[in-house]
Amino acid sequence: MNNRRRGGGRKKRAKLCLAKNANGGGNKTTSSCLEKKLGELQRSIPGSSGMEDMHTLFKGIENYILALEAKVTVLRCLSNFYGV
């Protein structure tokens, strides 16, 4: 039997970090946790290294997701057209 975990721990840590900050407990630990998560998110999106403002970063993420969805749609259409 395969005993590998499927990344569940990572999601729990992210939720815990956000839950702590939502309570109004803006202490250093929670703040640094959010900054770390935003940094990870920023590094995963191409061209977002210069986006310092959170609103701009989230707009860039939105545009990136829309572009990825468009690429998937085009690839699916090509796949259907060529019967692959």
The type of residue at 17 is C
| pTM for this predicted structure | 0.58
Residue among 44, 36, 40 nearest 17 (CA): 36
Residue among 71, 72, 76, 69 nearest 84 (CA): 76
The type of residue at 29 is T
Tokens matching residue 49: 């290294």
Tell me the pLDDT of the chain averaged across its residues. Answer: 78
* Per-residue pLDDT tens over the stretch 9-49: 555 555 555 555 455 555 677 888 988 988 898 898 888 88
From first CA to last CA, the distance across the chain in angstroms is 33
What is the distance between the alpha carbons of residues 46 and 42, in angstroms, rounded to a whole number? 8
- pLDDT at residue 35 in the model: 87
Q: Where are the domains of the chain?
A: 1-44, 50-84
